[in-house]
Amino acid sequence: MTEEEAKLIAKIIANKFNEILYNTIDDKKPRSIQLVKDIQLEYSNQLDTIMKALDKL
């Protein structure tokens, strides 16, 4: 994988992360603050893992 491909993948992942995050918060369904925080943490952890993997390429 080239650096450009890795950057593109990272950008796609980051965009998907934001899409999921904002859709979760703004979808007008009642959600507890803790649930939103848990979802944010889970996706943040996944993104960190993916970014670390990309750094090793």
pLDDT tens per residue across span 3-49 = 888 888 888 888 877 777 666 666 566 667 777 788 788 888 888 88
CA dihedral 21, 24, 28, 29 (to 10 degrees): -160
pTM above 0.85, yes or no: no
How far is residue 30's CA from residue 25's CA, in Å, rounded to a whole number?
A: 9
